[in-house]
Amino acid sequence: MIGKLKGTLDEIAEDHVVVDVHGVGYVAYCGARTLASLGGVGEAVVLFIETYVREDMLRLYGFASENERGWFRLLQNVQGVGAKVALAVLGTLSTGDLANAVALQDKAMVARAPGVGPKVAARIVAELRDKAPAMSGAADAESFALKRGLGDGVAPGPIADAVSALVNLGYPRDQAASTVAIAVKEAGDDAASATLIRLALKALSR
């Protein structure tokens, strides 16, 4: 099994790259975000690889980080999500955006990915609800829990009010939730909504 490729970028195509590793060219299929993050032909490249072996196929999928590869694996635990759909989701959303969408139960954000309909998007955010926190990292666990409370409609009143106020000012809900989560860390869990709004707006203005 191949877990990582480190070599020279030999070719960039619409949905894959060829990585030259000591004279051997490996074809790795990548999402749009990963492809956009790579340098030009001839430059050094490192890809984290998920190897698929079937009776009639051996295919490598390449990712810019281990975390992205982890989400690729996790997504395929959802009914109706195969490698193609998982790659489309990760090609449209960053891992942070995907974590936010799951926490906030924002199926519309996931449905932005090509080939992902409302039903599949709904299953993704619902079925990954309890699995996604581990993918967010310990540093983001508190923020994820806050956003999940918002998604489930059980967040404390001041937090929900602060997020709602930012959304009414035109900020996207995921950005509002992330910023309020930062404000809560600074002001404490018992902070009033006015305090959270003020700190959040200050952070957004930086």
What 3-state class would DSSP assign to 18? strand
Do 59 and 83 lie in one domain? The reply is no
Using the CB atoms, write b or e for 50-87: b if 16+ within 10 Å: beeeeeeeeebbbbbeebbbbbbebbeebeebeeebbb
Give 112-154 pLDDT, tens digit per residue.
Answer: 999 899 999 999 999 998 777 666 554 465 566 667 667 666 6
Residue length of the chain: 206
How many domains is the chain partitioned into structurally? 3
Domain containing residue 53: CATH number: 2.40.50.140
141 vs 147: CA distance, rounded Å: 10
The pTM of this model reads 0.72
Residues 6+ positions from 190 with CB-CB distance below 8 Å: none
Give 87-109 pLDDT, tens digit per residue.
Answer: 999 999 988 888 888 888 889 99
Do 53 and 88 lie in one domain? The reply is no
